[in-house]
Amino acid sequence: MKFTEIKDLSVTELKKRRTAFAEELFQARIKNSIGQLSNPLVIRDLRKNIAKINTAIVKKVAR
């Protein structure tokens, strides 16, 4: 997910997406621990997406 896509969303939508990504990250970590995750780089991408969303939320709230 690109930051340009994220910065146009509202704060409530960003929080919903952050929650969804956090749930996906949890499931990916569980699958990785039991060896069912085919691509462990998914975990890194999810963490980066959550960080981008957190950055966008902070920028919008600081205004």
Q: What is the pLDDT of residues 9-43, one digit of tens each?
A: 999 999 999 999 999 999 999 999 999 999 999 99
Please provide the size of the chain in residues. 63
Question: Residue range 39-51: average pLDDT?
Answer: 97
**pLDDT score of 63 more than 80:** no
Q: Copy the structure tokens of residue 48.
A: 């980066």
Instruction: Report the topology of domain 3-62.
Output: Helix Hairpins (1.10.287)
Model pTM score: 0.92
Q: Copy the structure tokens of residue 59.
A: 């920028």
pLDDT for the residue 1: 84
Q: What does the DSSP 8-state code read for residue 37?
A: -
Q: Copy the structure tokens of residue 46.
A: 């999810």
Per-domain boundaries in the chain: 3-62
What is the identity of the amino acid at 39?
N
pLDDT for the residue 14: 97
pLDDT for the residue 17: 97
